[in-house]
């Protein structure tokens, strides 16, 4: 039998793109979900890689995309909830609708993905849900309050779900990275240089290095669950 299906949200750039490349290199069929379609390159092309242009806040669209991929490749054995962004700004000056959408993506989007796969995993007594949060899920910064609060909620969800589904042999893994070199600064409306300055010009790890760590967690036997892990550069004392 071939490798099982892996579903990744926020999969067209940054951490999600690196995750897709790592799982593709191991021969997994992939469903790559992102709000905007983007060229994925030769390493993410082929009959076993499917791209879906879906907003994770749309539960019906998420279900439809996942059911379609499962019809082609078999049940989802691994779901990686990675989609997200951060807006930095004075909370009282932000548009409430913008804040609401940010929370919807960061928290409800995770719930939508889990809802689409959990029943099947429970029935098969096999499956892994990996939630990519942030060091901010436990050490919030002075800005980006909705982001940090939503990430903390996902960490709590991960722990609660892990306890609730332990008897069903379903793994739930929370991965909290910090200081990963991505384009997150673009959604903050600042340059990478300004982003570094605000953080004190720290060392960063690469998205590919983080993808290797996530893949390691996934590749453990089903009876082993790395429940909660923080990934930071050794030289950083943040968190």
**What span, in angstroms and rounded, lies between the C-alpha atoms of 146 and 148?**
6
Q: Which conformational region is residue 26 in: left (phi greater than 0), alpha (psi within -120 to 50 degrees), or beta?
A: alpha
**Which listed residue (109, 147, 151, 175) is catalytic?**
147
What three-state secondary structure class fits 55?
A: coil
**What span, in angstroms and rounded, lies between the C-alpha atoms of 126 and 74?**
13
Q: Which conformational region is residue 130 in: left (phi greater than 0), alpha (psi within -120 to 50 degrees), or beta?
A: beta
**What span, in angstroms and rounded, lies between the C-alpha atoms of 102 and 86?**
7
CB contact set of 142 (below 8 Å; sequence gap of 6+): none
CB contact set of 63 (below 8 Å; sequence gap of 6+): 112, 115, 116
CB contact set of 75 (below 8 Å; sequence gap of 6+): 4, 5, 120, 121, 124, 127
Q: Is 135 exposed, middle or buried (0-12, 13-18, 19+ CB in 10 A)?
A: buried
Q: Which residues pair with residue 177 across a beta bridge?
A: 231
Q: Is 101 a catalytic residue?
A: no
User: Using CA atoms in the order 136, 203, 218, 32, what is the torsion angle rounded to 10 degrees?
Assistant: 80
How far is C-alpha 82 from the geometric centre of its chain's CA atoms?
Answer: 2
Q: Which residues form the catalytic set?
A: 147
């Amino acid at each position: 039998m071939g490798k099982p299906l892996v579903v990744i949200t926020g999969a067209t750039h940054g951490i999600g793109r690196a995750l897709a490349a790592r799982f593709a290199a191991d021969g997994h069929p992939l469903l790559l979900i992102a709000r905007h379609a983007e060229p994925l390159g030769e390493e993410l092309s082929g009959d076993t890689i499917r791209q879906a242009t879906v907003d994770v806040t749309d539960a019906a669209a998420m279900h439809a995309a996942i059911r379609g991929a499962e019809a082609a490749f078999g049940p989802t054995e691994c779901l990686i909830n990675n989609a997200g962004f951060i807006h930095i700004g004075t909370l009282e000056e932000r548009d409430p609708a913008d804040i609401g959408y940010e929370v919807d993506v960061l928290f409800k989007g995770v719930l939508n993905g889990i809802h689409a796969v959990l029943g099947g995993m429970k029935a098969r007594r096999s499956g892994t849900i990996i939630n990519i949060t942030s060091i901010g899920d436990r050490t919030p910064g002075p800005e980006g309050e909705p982001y940090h609060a939503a990430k903390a909620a996902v960490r709590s969800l991960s722990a609660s779900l892990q306890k609730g589904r332990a008897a069903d042999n379903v793994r739930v893994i929370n991965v909290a990275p910090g200081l990963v070199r991505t384009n997150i600064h673009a959604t903050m409306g600042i340059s990478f240089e300004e982003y570094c300055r605000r953080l004190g010009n720290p060392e960063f790890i690469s998205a590919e290095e983080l993808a290797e760590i996530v893949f390691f967690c996934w590749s453990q036997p089903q009876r082993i669950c790395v429940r909660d892990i923080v990934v930071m550069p050794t030289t950083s004392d943040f968190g």
